[in-house]
Structure 1
Protein backbone atom coordinates (compact mmCIF):
# COMPACT_ATOMS: atom_id res chain seq x y z
CA UNK A 1 0.00 0.00 0.00
CA UNK A 2 1.17 3.50 -0.82
CA UNK A 3 0.67 5.76 2.21
CA UNK A 4 1.03 9.49 1.68
CA UNK A 5 1.06 11.72 4.72
CA UNK A 6 0.51 15.42 4.07
CA UNK A 7 2.11 17.57 6.75
CA UNK A 8 -1.12 19.51 7.35
CA UNK A 9 -4.80 18.91 7.94
CA UNK A 10 -5.81 21.98 5.95
CA UNK A 11 -8.26 20.75 3.26
CA UNK A 12 -6.81 23.27 0.78
CA UNK A 13 -3.51 21.38 1.07
CA UNK A 14 -4.73 17.81 1.54
CA UNK A 15 -7.24 17.82 -1.34
CA UNK A 16 -4.74 18.67 -4.13
CA UNK A 17 -2.37 15.97 -2.84
CA UNK A 18 -5.25 13.47 -2.92
CA UNK A 19 -6.07 14.49 -6.49
CA UNK A 20 -2.50 14.13 -7.75
CA UNK A 21 -1.81 10.80 -6.07
CA UNK A 22 -5.21 9.45 -7.17
CA UNK A 23 -3.95 9.77 -10.76
CA UNK A 24 -0.77 7.87 -9.91
CA UNK A 25 -2.35 5.13 -7.83
CA UNK A 26 -6.09 5.17 -7.10
CA UNK A 27 -5.56 2.76 -4.19
CA UNK A 28 -3.17 5.14 -2.38
CA UNK A 29 -4.15 6.29 1.07
CA UNK A 30 -3.63 10.02 1.61
CA UNK A 31 -3.96 11.43 5.12
CA UNK A 32 -3.43 14.90 6.49
CA UNK A 33 -1.50 15.11 9.75
CA UNK A 34 -0.57 18.23 11.66
CA UNK A 35 3.20 18.36 12.02
CA UNK A 36 5.45 21.21 13.10
CA UNK A 37 6.93 23.35 10.37
CA UNK A 38 9.61 24.85 12.56
CA UNK A 39 8.97 28.28 11.03
CA UNK A 40 6.53 31.11 11.85
CA UNK A 41 2.88 30.73 10.81
CA UNK A 42 3.61 33.20 8.03
CA UNK A 43 7.07 32.48 6.64
CA UNK A 44 8.89 35.39 5.02
CA UNK A 45 11.42 34.74 2.29
CA UNK A 46 12.26 31.69 0.25
CA UNK A 47 14.69 30.14 2.74
CA UNK A 48 12.24 30.18 5.65
CA UNK A 49 9.39 28.94 3.48
CA UNK A 50 11.51 26.11 2.04
CA UNK A 51 12.62 25.10 5.55
CA UNK A 52 8.97 24.84 6.64
CA UNK A 53 8.01 22.65 3.67
CA UNK A 54 11.05 20.41 4.08
CA UNK A 55 10.45 19.98 7.82
CA UNK A 56 6.82 19.07 7.14
CA UNK A 57 7.76 16.55 4.43
CA UNK A 58 10.35 14.75 6.57
CA UNK A 59 8.03 14.65 9.60
CA UNK A 60 5.22 13.33 7.41
CA UNK A 61 7.29 10.57 5.78
CA UNK A 62 8.50 9.45 9.22
CA UNK A 63 4.86 9.06 10.29
CA UNK A 64 4.14 7.00 7.15
CA UNK A 65 7.23 4.84 7.73
CA UNK A 66 6.23 4.24 11.35
CA UNK A 67 2.98 2.76 10.04
CA UNK A 68 5.05 0.28 8.03
CA UNK A 69 3.58 1.21 4.67
CA UNK A 70 5.01 -0.56 1.64
CA UNK A 71 5.58 2.86 0.10
CA UNK A 72 5.86 5.78 2.51
CA UNK A 73 5.61 9.32 1.19
CA UNK A 74 5.67 12.66 2.98
CA UNK A 75 4.47 15.91 1.45
CA UNK A 76 5.09 19.37 2.87
CA UNK A 77 3.36 22.43 1.46
CA UNK A 78 4.33 25.84 2.78
CA UNK A 79 3.06 29.20 1.58
CA UNK A 80 5.36 32.18 1.96
CA UNK A 81 5.79 35.82 1.11
CA UNK A 82 8.95 37.33 -0.30
CA UNK A 83 9.74 41.01 -0.61
CA UNK A 84 11.65 42.21 -3.67
CA UNK A 85 14.14 45.08 -3.92
CA UNK A 86 11.35 47.50 -4.89
CA UNK A 87 9.37 46.65 -1.75
CA UNK A 88 6.71 44.56 -3.48
CA UNK A 89 5.42 41.46 -1.72
CA UNK A 90 5.03 38.20 -3.62
CA UNK A 91 2.95 35.21 -2.52
CA UNK A 92 4.45 31.83 -3.47
CA UNK A 93 4.75 28.31 -2.13
CA UNK A 94 7.26 25.54 -1.69
CA UNK A 95 6.32 21.89 -2.21
CA UNK A 96 8.59 19.26 -0.64
CA UNK A 97 8.24 15.51 -1.25
CA UNK A 98 10.14 12.94 0.83
CA UNK A 99 10.33 9.27 -0.19
CA UNK A 100 12.92 6.51 0.28
CA UNK A 101 15.42 8.86 1.94
CA UNK A 102 15.25 11.39 -0.89
CA UNK A 103 13.72 14.83 -1.01
CA UNK A 104 12.63 17.01 -3.89
CA UNK A 105 11.46 20.59 -3.57
CA UNK A 106 9.77 22.90 -6.04
CA UNK A 107 8.97 26.58 -5.84
CA UNK A 108 5.51 27.43 -7.16
CA UNK A 109 4.35 30.32 -9.28
CA UNK A 110 4.00 33.62 -7.47
CA UNK A 111 1.58 36.52 -7.37
CA UNK A 112 2.08 40.11 -6.23
CA UNK A 113 0.20 41.03 -3.08
CA UNK A 114 -1.74 44.28 -2.65
CA UNK A 115 0.31 46.84 -0.66
CA UNK A 116 -2.14 47.05 2.29
CA UNK A 117 -2.00 43.26 2.65
CA UNK A 118 1.79 43.22 2.49
CA UNK A 119 2.07 45.93 5.15
CA UNK A 120 0.11 43.82 7.62
CA UNK A 121 2.02 40.63 6.76
CA UNK A 122 5.28 42.51 7.32
CA UNK A 123 3.81 43.59 10.66
CA UNK A 124 3.63 39.95 11.72
CA UNK A 125 0.11 38.90 10.72
CA UNK A 126 -0.66 35.71 8.79
CA UNK A 127 -1.82 36.27 5.22
CA UNK A 128 -5.06 34.28 5.57
CA UNK A 129 -6.15 36.28 8.61
CA UNK A 130 -5.37 39.55 6.86
CA UNK A 131 -7.42 38.52 3.82
CA UNK A 132 -10.34 37.44 6.01
CA UNK A 133 -10.26 40.76 7.85
CA UNK A 134 -10.01 42.93 4.72
CA UNK A 135 -12.53 40.98 2.63
CA UNK A 136 -14.98 39.79 5.27
CA UNK A 137 -14.28 36.14 4.44
CA UNK A 138 -14.00 33.31 6.93
CA UNK A 139 -10.97 31.01 6.90
CA UNK A 140 -10.09 31.73 3.26
CA UNK A 141 -6.81 29.81 3.70
CA UNK A 142 -8.76 26.57 4.09
CA UNK A 143 -10.62 27.20 0.82
CA UNK A 144 -9.71 29.07 -2.35
CA UNK A 145 -6.93 30.95 -0.59
CA UNK A 146 -5.64 34.40 -1.37
CA UNK A 147 -4.92 33.22 -4.91
CA UNK A 148 -8.60 32.38 -5.47
CA UNK A 149 -9.83 35.64 -4.02
CA UNK A 150 -7.33 37.89 -5.78
CA UNK A 151 -7.73 36.20 -9.19
CA UNK A 152 -11.52 36.29 -9.02
CA UNK A 153 -11.63 32.50 -9.12
CA UNK A 154 -9.52 32.10 -12.28
CA UNK A 155 -7.09 30.04 -10.19
CA UNK A 156 -7.13 28.97 -6.58
CA UNK A 157 -4.75 27.73 -3.92
CA UNK A 158 -5.34 24.06 -4.82
CA UNK A 159 -4.38 24.73 -8.47
CA UNK A 160 -1.01 26.07 -7.36
CA UNK A 161 -0.36 23.13 -5.00
CA UNK A 162 -1.42 20.52 -7.61
CA UNK A 163 0.98 21.87 -10.20
CA UNK A 164 3.84 22.23 -7.73
CA UNK A 165 3.35 18.68 -6.46
CA UNK A 166 3.26 17.26 -9.99
CA UNK A 167 6.56 19.00 -10.76
CA UNK A 168 8.17 17.81 -7.51
CA UNK A 169 7.19 14.22 -8.33
CA UNK A 170 8.95 14.21 -11.72
CA UNK A 171 12.29 12.89 -10.38
CA UNK A 172 10.50 10.08 -8.54
CA UNK A 173 8.47 9.15 -11.62
CA UNK A 174 11.55 9.17 -13.87
CA UNK A 175 14.21 7.91 -11.48
CA UNK A 176 16.35 6.47 -14.27
CA UNK A 177 16.69 9.89 -15.89
CA UNK A 178 17.53 11.63 -12.62
CA UNK A 179 19.81 8.94 -11.18
CA UNK A 180 23.05 10.57 -12.26
CA UNK A 181 22.50 13.71 -10.18
CA UNK A 182 21.81 14.44 -6.53
CA UNK A 183 18.31 15.07 -5.25
CA UNK A 184 17.56 18.37 -3.55
CA UNK A 185 18.43 16.97 -0.11
CA UNK A 186 19.41 13.37 0.55
CA UNK A 187 19.04 13.26 4.32
CA UNK A 188 16.40 14.47 6.75
CA UNK A 189 17.12 17.74 8.49
CA UNK A 190 14.31 17.74 11.02
CA UNK A 191 13.42 20.92 12.83
Structure 2
Protein backbone atom coordinates (compact mmCIF):
# COMPACT_ATOMS: atom_id res chain seq x y z
CA UNK A 1 0.00 0.00 0.00
CA UNK A 2 1.14 3.52 -0.74
CA UNK A 3 0.39 6.23 1.79
CA UNK A 4 0.26 9.83 0.65
CA UNK A 5 -0.05 12.46 3.35
CA UNK A 6 -1.08 15.98 2.36
CA UNK A 7 0.20 18.61 4.78
CA UNK A 8 -3.29 20.06 5.27
CA UNK A 9 -6.80 18.92 6.07
CA UNK A 10 -8.34 21.50 3.75
CA UNK A 11 -10.56 19.56 1.31
CA UNK A 12 -9.61 21.98 -1.49
CA UNK A 13 -6.03 20.74 -1.12
CA UNK A 14 -6.62 17.07 -0.24
CA UNK A 15 -9.14 16.35 -3.01
CA UNK A 16 -6.87 17.26 -5.96
CA UNK A 17 -4.08 15.11 -4.50
CA UNK A 18 -6.54 12.22 -4.17
CA UNK A 19 -7.61 12.70 -7.79
CA UNK A 20 -4.05 12.72 -9.17
CA UNK A 21 -2.92 9.70 -7.14
CA UNK A 22 -6.12 7.82 -8.09
CA UNK A 23 -4.90 8.06 -11.70
CA UNK A 24 -1.25 7.47 -10.95
CA UNK A 25 -1.39 4.86 -8.19
CA UNK A 26 -4.99 3.68 -7.67
CA UNK A 27 -4.04 1.61 -4.61
CA UNK A 28 -2.69 4.70 -2.80
CA UNK A 29 -4.41 5.96 0.31
CA UNK A 30 -4.39 9.77 0.47
CA UNK A 31 -5.07 11.52 3.77
CA UNK A 32 -4.75 15.07 5.04
CA UNK A 33 -2.98 15.96 8.26
CA UNK A 34 -2.50 19.32 9.90
CA UNK A 35 1.17 20.22 9.91
CA UNK A 36 2.90 23.54 10.56
CA UNK A 37 3.93 25.51 7.51
CA UNK A 38 6.41 27.65 9.41
CA UNK A 39 5.24 30.73 7.50
CA UNK A 40 2.44 33.28 8.06
CA UNK A 41 -1.15 32.30 7.20
CA UNK A 42 -0.79 34.49 4.12
CA UNK A 43 2.69 33.99 2.70
CA UNK A 44 4.05 36.91 0.70
CA UNK A 45 6.55 36.34 -2.08
CA UNK A 46 7.90 33.20 -3.66
CA UNK A 47 10.61 32.36 -1.06
CA UNK A 48 8.15 32.44 1.85
CA UNK A 49 5.52 30.50 -0.07
CA UNK A 50 8.04 27.88 -1.18
CA UNK A 51 9.29 27.48 2.39
CA UNK A 52 5.72 26.81 3.55
CA UNK A 53 5.14 24.15 0.87
CA UNK A 54 8.49 22.47 1.53
CA UNK A 55 7.94 22.46 5.30
CA UNK A 56 4.52 20.90 4.78
CA UNK A 57 5.85 18.23 2.38
CA UNK A 58 8.68 17.15 4.71
CA UNK A 59 6.37 17.07 7.75
CA UNK A 60 3.78 15.11 5.75
CA UNK A 61 6.26 12.51 4.48
CA UNK A 62 7.55 12.07 8.04
CA UNK A 63 3.99 11.27 9.17
CA UNK A 64 3.55 8.90 6.21
CA UNK A 65 6.81 7.11 7.00
CA UNK A 66 5.80 6.75 10.65
CA UNK A 67 2.36 5.38 9.76
CA UNK A 68 3.32 3.32 6.71
CA UNK A 69 7.10 2.86 6.53
CA UNK A 70 7.14 1.79 2.85
CA UNK A 71 6.26 3.91 -0.19
CA UNK A 72 5.48 7.02 1.83
CA UNK A 73 4.77 10.31 0.07
CA UNK A 74 4.35 13.83 1.44
CA UNK A 75 2.69 16.69 -0.40
CA UNK A 76 2.79 20.35 0.58
CA UNK A 77 0.57 22.93 -1.11
CA UNK A 78 1.00 26.59 -0.23
CA UNK A 79 -0.80 29.56 -1.75
CA UNK A 80 1.01 32.86 -1.80
CA UNK A 81 0.79 36.42 -3.04
CA UNK A 82 3.51 38.20 -5.00
CA UNK A 83 3.40 42.00 -4.79
CA UNK A 84 5.01 43.98 -7.60
CA UNK A 85 4.05 47.47 -6.52
CA UNK A 86 1.06 49.62 -5.66
CA UNK A 87 -2.08 47.81 -6.81
CA UNK A 88 -0.09 45.04 -8.51
CA UNK A 89 -0.33 41.68 -6.81
CA UNK A 90 -0.53 38.11 -8.04
CA UNK A 91 -1.96 34.94 -6.52
CA UNK A 92 0.08 31.75 -7.10
CA UNK A 93 0.99 28.54 -5.35
CA UNK A 94 3.89 26.23 -4.72
CA UNK A 95 3.56 22.44 -4.76
CA UNK A 96 6.22 20.37 -2.99
CA UNK A 97 6.43 16.56 -3.14
CA UNK A 98 8.70 14.51 -0.87
CA UNK A 99 9.35 10.80 -1.46
CA UNK A 100 12.27 8.50 -0.68
CA UNK A 101 14.50 11.40 0.39
CA UNK A 102 13.81 13.36 -2.79
CA UNK A 103 12.02 16.72 -2.93
CA UNK A 104 10.51 18.34 -6.00
CA UNK A 105 8.83 21.74 -6.12
CA UNK A 106 6.95 23.64 -8.79
CA UNK A 107 5.31 27.02 -9.01
CA UNK A 108 1.73 27.08 -10.24
CA UNK A 109 0.04 29.43 -12.65
CA UNK A 110 -0.76 32.84 -11.26
CA UNK A 111 -3.50 35.41 -11.59
CA UNK A 112 -3.69 39.12 -10.86
CA UNK A 113 -5.60 40.08 -7.74
CA UNK A 114 -8.10 42.96 -7.67
CA UNK A 115 -6.58 46.09 -6.08
CA UNK A 116 -9.08 46.21 -3.16
CA UNK A 117 -8.20 42.60 -2.29
CA UNK A 118 -4.49 43.28 -2.56
CA UNK A 119 -4.74 46.37 -0.33
CA UNK A 120 -6.24 44.30 2.47
CA UNK A 121 -3.62 41.58 2.08
CA UNK A 122 -0.91 44.23 2.29
CA UNK A 123 -2.60 45.42 5.49
CA UNK A 124 -2.07 41.96 6.97
CA UNK A 125 -5.24 40.03 6.17
CA UNK A 126 -5.41 36.51 4.70
CA UNK A 127 -6.78 36.15 1.16
CA UNK A 128 -9.56 33.67 1.99
CA UNK A 129 -10.97 35.91 4.73
CA UNK A 130 -10.82 38.96 2.47
CA UNK A 131 -12.66 37.13 -0.31
CA UNK A 132 -15.32 35.84 2.10
CA UNK A 133 -15.88 39.36 3.40
CA UNK A 134 -16.03 41.03 -0.02
CA UNK A 135 -18.15 38.35 -1.70
CA UNK A 136 -20.37 37.32 1.20
CA UNK A 137 -19.10 33.73 1.11
CA UNK A 138 -18.02 31.44 3.92
CA UNK A 139 -14.78 29.46 3.83
CA UNK A 140 -14.18 30.00 0.10
CA UNK A 141 -10.64 28.68 0.59
CA UNK A 142 -12.03 25.25 1.47
CA UNK A 143 -13.97 25.14 -1.80
CA UNK A 144 -13.47 26.76 -5.20
CA UNK A 145 -11.05 29.28 -3.73
CA UNK A 146 -10.33 32.78 -4.90
CA UNK A 147 -9.46 31.39 -8.33
CA UNK A 148 -12.93 29.88 -8.69
CA UNK A 149 -14.66 33.04 -7.53
CA UNK A 150 -12.62 35.42 -9.66
CA UNK A 151 -12.87 33.29 -12.83
CA UNK A 152 -16.61 32.72 -12.50
CA UNK A 153 -15.97 28.99 -12.17
CA UNK A 154 -13.94 28.63 -15.36
CA UNK A 155 -11.09 27.35 -13.18
CA UNK A 156 -10.92 26.70 -9.47
CA UNK A 157 -8.37 26.14 -6.74
CA UNK A 158 -8.34 22.36 -7.28
CA UNK A 159 -7.52 22.82 -10.98
CA UNK A 160 -4.43 24.81 -10.09
CA UNK A 161 -3.30 22.29 -7.47
CA UNK A 162 -3.90 19.30 -9.79
CA UNK A 163 -1.77 20.81 -12.54
CA UNK A 164 1.00 21.79 -10.14
CA UNK A 165 1.07 18.33 -8.57
CA UNK A 166 1.19 16.61 -11.96
CA UNK A 167 4.19 18.76 -12.91
CA UNK A 168 5.95 18.14 -9.60
CA UNK A 169 5.57 14.39 -10.07
CA UNK A 170 7.34 14.34 -13.46
CA UNK A 171 10.82 13.65 -12.03
CA UNK A 172 9.44 10.76 -9.96
CA UNK A 173 7.77 9.27 -13.03
CA UNK A 174 10.83 9.65 -15.26
CA UNK A 175 13.75 9.15 -12.91
CA UNK A 176 16.10 7.99 -15.68
CA UNK A 177 15.65 11.28 -17.55
CA UNK A 178 16.15 13.42 -14.47
CA UNK A 179 19.19 11.63 -13.04
CA UNK A 180 22.46 13.51 -13.25
CA UNK A 181 25.21 11.92 -15.31
Give the alignment's TM-score, normalised by structure 2.
0.98
For residues 70 and 3 of structure 2, what CA distance do their matches in structure 1 show? 8
1:166 aligns with 2:166: yes
Shift of 1:68: 3.0
Aligned to 1:36: 36
In structure 1, the partner of 2:49 is 49
SS of the equivalent of 1:84 reads strand
Give 1:70 shift: 1.9
CA contact (8 A) 1:42 1:126 kept: yes
Partner of 2:26: 26
Moved more, 62-71 or 106-115: 62-71
Two-structure CA RMSD over aligned residues (Å)? 1.0
Secondary structure of the residue that 1:64 maps to in structure 2? helix
Q: Is the 8 A contact 1:2 1:69 kept in 2?
A: no
Q: Secondary structure at the match of 1:83?
A: strand
Distance change >3 Å, CA 150–CA 84, structure 1 → 2: same
Q: Which consecutive unaligned segments of at least 5 residues does structure 1 have? A: 182-191
- Deviation, 1:69, is 3.4
- Asked if structure 1 preserves the Cα contact closer than 8 Å seen for 2:4 and 2:73, the reply is yes
Aligned 1:38-187 pairs, distance under 5 A: 38-85=38-85, 87-180=87-180
Give unpaired runs (5+ residues) of structure 2.
Answer: none
Tell whether the 8 Å contact from 2:53 to 2:96 is kept in structure 1 after alignment.
yes
Match of 1:9 in 2: 9
**Structure 2 counterpart of 1:189:** none
Cα distance in 1 for residues equivalent to 2:140 and 2:68? 35
Distance 1:148 1:2 in 2: 31
Find the aligned partners of 1:47 and 1:121 in 2 and give their Cα distance: 17
Per-residue deviation, 1:67: 1.4
How far, CA to CA, are the matches of 1:50 and 1:145 in structure 2?
Answer: 19
Using the TM superposition, give the Cα deviation of residue 113 of structure 1 relative to its aligned residue in structure 2, in angstroms: 0.2
Offset, 1:84: 1.3
Report the TM-score, using the length of structure 1 for normalisation. 0.93
| Distance of 1:65 and 1:157 partners within structure 2 | 28
Q: Tell me the number of residue pairs that the alignment of Structure 1 and Structure 2 aligns.
A: 181
Q: Which residue of structure 2 aligns with residue 187 of structure 1?
A: none
Which of 81-90 and 65-74 deviates more? Answer: 81-90
